[in-house]
Amino acid sequence: MNTESLLLTDLYQFTMLQAYFARGMNETAVFEFFVRKLPEQRNFLVAAGLEQALDHLESARFAADELQWLRDCGRFRPDFVASLADWRFTGDVDALPEGTPCFADEPLLRVVAPIREAQLVETRIINLLQFQTMIAAKAVRCVLAAAGRTLVDFGLRRSHGAEAGLLSARASHLAGFTGTATVLAGQRWGIPLFGTMAHSYIEAHASESQAFENFVRSQPAGSTLLIDTYDTEQAARKLLALLPKLTAEGRQISAVRIDSGDLGEHARRVRAILDAGGQPQVRILASGNLDEYRIRDLLQAGAPIDGFGVGTRMNTSADKPYLDCAYKLQEYAGTPRRKRSEGKLTWPGRKQICRCYDATGTMAGDTLSVVGDPQEATDLLLPVMRNGRRIAPSPSLAVVRAHLRDQLARLPEQLRRLETAPPYPVTVAPALQRLAEAADRATGRQP
């Protein structure tokens, strides 16, 4: 499927564009993407997905067959559809760098463009930013819980479709996962790949030992063997029995994987068997229904597990599979705008986030203000696109990972815990308060 199609959007984008077209309305609009409220189980989010959002803005065009379909579908006037033929995004974007911890109400991205451009991209911008930001925020909790152990994304199969699988490999690596099992993510972004074998591989052989032996012999590099198909400890002993022969051939068994049962208990027994057999260098990987809580519990109980394969619960952000987020009009034709729907009040205008640090370099609070309001702090939103083109190549994933590692070290300690912490202080600057009141007076007067 063409995931970059401009038809991958809500119908109302086109009905609104048609109304703007009919009236010749195309003044500059300012939209911002932000999360209204953090999920209870998240002390912070991690900005992610900007790279794909910018790709979309740079490349989105209407194909001839799409224009034909719009013409034929009975909802749109021919002159309006004709006006879409040369549609492209020519606006400016400022954004939080990927890998930046962020909080409720803070814009992750600001679009400044003629309204027919800024509006049409709404759906896909939200679709791209919310997903990776949500996954990075979940994955970073696993990273914090794993305290330096290897973490591998195993979740493609239960991800919500192809793009979710691919982008969750990216977002989790960005958040600190060592690698992924998803081959396409390795090809595309150079993310380190990890893989072992399935139970079916063992079952296809007449004996488990034969399956192990064939596998190790067939791989140029060191192998990881799955040992829980029948009896985990028995399998560890079979492996020990095979090792002298395989080692003599120059083959290497790097690790074993345990995927069922009491992972901590099996790991302890298998570790003892391997150590007693003189194989302390064979690592133990665990997988199966893992998330940050189970990782923490296993490690707190002293399980000798060197790495974790984390899938479904991370790739679907299972305890909170969506963010309460929005892409909202904040200014049109030079006038700040504000939605006043019940429970959905927004802060108008072009906003900036200023982050303060204490003397130790720890984050001490953010201020949400308007662009141009001087603050004694670091501005977080940076220019990334002007006139529809990136102003610089996007940073590599390695740079983004390093940026997040640095930021994590500056997070107040209680935010790095899995337990819900008191909210990080985000205050609204007086200048923004005044702007909001002015916007209310303006719309309050409207007939």
Under 8 Å between Cβ of 400 and 409: no
Residue 283 and residue 309: Cα distance in Å, rounded? Answer: 13
344 vs 389, which CB is nearer to a second copy? 344
Residue 228 half-sphere exposure toward CB, CA atoms < 13 A: 20
Closest to a second copy by CB, 318 vs 382, is 318
Q: Are strands 150-153 and 179-180 parallel, antiparallel or unpaired?
A: parallel
Nearer to a second copy, 64 or 206 (CB): 206
Q: Whose Cβ is closer to a second copy: residue 193's or residue 371's?
A: 193
Instruction: Please name the helix (run of DSSP H) or strand (run of DSSP E) that holds residue 257, with its range, or none.
Output: strand 253-258
Return d(Cα 398, Cα 191) in angstroms, integer.
10
The smaller minimum CB distance to a second copy, of residues 210 and 247, is found at 210
Nearer to a second copy, 8 or 356 (CB): 8
Give the start-end residues of each E strand in 97-159: 101-102, 109-114, 150-153
How near is the Cβ of 6 to a second copy at its closest, in Å?
9
Least Å from the CB of residue 171 to a second copy? 11
Whether the CB-CB separation of 355 and 382 falls below 8 Å is answered with no
Structure-block tokens of residue 109: 């991205």
Residue 390 CB, nearest approach to a second copy (Å): 19
Minimum CB distance to a second copy, residue 425 (Å): 28
The minimum distance between CB 244 and a second copy, in angstroms, equals 17
State the minimum distance, in angstroms, from the CB of residue 360 to a second copy.
Answer: 38
- Residue 256 CB, nearest distance to a second copy (Å)? 14
Alpha-carbon distance 95 to 50, whole Å?
8
- Edge-first strand order for the sheet with 109-114 is 335-336, 324-332, 28-37, 109-114, 92-95, 382-386, 389-390
- DSSP codes joined into one string, 371-440: TT---SSEE--EEEEETTEESSPPPPHHHHHHHHHHHHHHS-GGGGSSSPPPPPPEEE-HHHHHHHHHHH
Q: Which residues pair with 285 in a beta bridge?
A: 257, 307
Min separation Cβ 70 and a second copy, Å? 8
Indicate the residue among 235 and 415 with the shorter CB distance to a second copy. Answer: 235
Do residues 402 and 354 touch, judged by C-beta distance below 8 A?
no
CB of 263 to a second copy, least distance (A): 10
Name the residue nearer to a second copy (CB basis): 28 or 433.
Answer: 28
List 150's β-bridge partners, or say none: 307
Minimum Å gap between C-beta 75 and a second copy is 6
In degrees rounded to 5, what are phi and psi of residue 411? -70, 140
Q: Closer CB to a second copy, residue 184 or residue 364?
A: 184
From residue 280, alpha-carbon distances to 194, 228, 270, 284, 310 in Å are 21, 19, 11, 10, 24
| DSSP per position, 307-328 | EEEE-HHHHTTTTS-S-EEEEE
Instruction: Tell the smallest beta-carbon distance from residue 386 to a second copy (Å).
Output: 23
Give the containing element (helix H, strand E) for 23. Answer: helix 11-23
Q: Which is nearer to a second copy, 32 or 366 (CB)?
A: 32
Cβ distance to a second copy smaller for residue 335 or 427: 335
Among 259, 217, 218, which Cα is nearest to 235's?
A: 259
Question: Minimum distance between the CB of residue 193 and a second copy, rounded to whole angstroms?
Answer: 5
Euclidean distance between CA atoms 340 and 30, whole angstroms: 17
Q: Which is nearer to a second copy, 136 or 363 (CB)?
A: 136
